[in-house]
Amino acid sequence: MKKILLLIIIFILFISGLVLGPALINYEGYFLIVLESVTLQLSIFGLIATVIVLFLAGWLLLLITKAIISFLMGTQDWLFGFSERRRQKAFRQGLISLAEGNYLEAQKRLNKVVDEDDFDGINILALAETESQLGNNERARELWAFAADNEPTRLAANLCIIRDLMFREECKQALTYIEQLPEKSQSDPSIIKLWAHALDQTHRYGQLKEKLPKWKKALGDEYDVWQLKASQGEFAELASKEGANKLKEKWQTLPRSVRKEPGQVAAYTQELINQAMFEEAQMVLVNSQKNGPVPVLYSMYRQLKNLQTNGAIKQLEGWLKKDDKNVDILSTLGQLAFNLGDHLLAEKALSKAIKLRNDRRDLLLLAQIKEAQKDNAYALELYKQTIV
């Protein structure tokens, strides 16, 4: 549309020039321009011609100016682009050297881009890792602190700071640092896992147990492990400070539903075993599994000894009557019978377990039994199987 309009205007001017041109040339009027030292006298045609020439000259000058500016800007872009390519190359080669374990080269490359804002803080984290690997821990900590102020790298930097504190066994400082973080950061699963480790290392099992329900989703498969640790720590702390009787009283005050949880049973039983209260531990194990075996508690049976009653043995044998090929129960029965000095029962259970699963632990235990029976040749054969 614009082109059509421009053509119409040019056509009108052309026709006007043809019509008015001869008249303007023969027109005797003139324009007089008087300046301080110059006087110009132009005919009407001359004035129009001068205006047209000046317009064309101005337009041409504008085109030349634009061309010069475009050329200069292109040169600038080329120079800046060259500089950007050099930074990208230094960053890329720095990361490659870091991955290769060439830390001195990585340090050299990454220091060239340490002050650049084009990498969202990744350059800072990479250089911090390099300095840490080189043993320049103070420099690494400065860089982590700097990266923690940058939104894209805040979480990663906070994790590095917390791990560093825990590596230096400054778990109390790690806890203080975590507690000062924003709520959004505190709810991150990686932060929560480090938080749990810090509470464990500082023996704050009460706090750990209190927080675990809120952390269940974040901990995932590790939740049961942490629940067991928290309960074990809490029971151990109570037993060491107030004695075994207080521990038993504490257990009885817990809700019935809690006392049925495998993690709680395992933690309480383990502390009874640690206190050499084997009969009490046996009673808890037997009573808590009247509805069937709980695999997580098998390790507790393996630690029982010096028993005056055989409730645990009878329970394991009862389960085997229903499932005589359960290799884990057979192995557990073999270990418990060995602990109680019933080598015949232990040999029978272990021999059957080894036929089902050639487990090194069972082989070593059966070898000990055969040695005690002076069957050295068979014992040697069993020991050889553990080496293969």
> Hey, how many other C-beta atoms are within 10 angstroms of the C-beta on 160?
22
Higher pLDDT, 17 or 56: 56
Query: Which contiguous run of DSSP H or E holds residue 42?
Result: strand 39-43
Residue 81's pLDDT is 47
Mean pLDDT calculated for residue range 104-128:
85
Q: Is the pLDDT of residue 180 over 70?
A: yes
164 neighbors 141 (Cβ within 8 angstroms): yes
Give the chain's domains with CATH numbers: 276-388 (1.25.40.10)
Calculate what percentage of the chain has a pLDDT beyond 70. 86
Distant-in-sequence, close-in-space partners of 377: CB < 8 Å, separation ≥ 6:
none
- In the chain, the N- to C-terminal Cα span, in Å, equals 90
Mean pLDDT calculated for residue range 361-379:
88
Lowest mean pLDDT among 58-67, 169-178, 202-211, 364-373: 58-67
Q: Is the pLDDT of residue 47 over 80?
A: no
Residue 82's pLDDT is 43
Q: Which two tokens stand for residue 77?
A: 């872009």
The predicted-structure confidence for 9-30, as pLDDT tens digits, reads as follows: 777 766 766 666 666 556 566 6
C-alpha 272/C-alpha 279 separation (Å) is 9
C-alpha 386/C-alpha 360 separation (Å) is 5
Residue 231 pLDDT class (50, 70, 90 cuts): confident
C-alpha 335/C-alpha 337 separation (Å) is 6
Residue 116 pLDDT class (50, 70, 90 cuts): confident
Residue 62 pLDDT class (50, 70, 90 cuts): confident
160 neighbors 144 (Cβ within 8 angstroms): yes
CA 373 to chain centre: 54
Residue 349's pLDDT is 93
Mean pLDDT calculated for residue range 69-74:
63
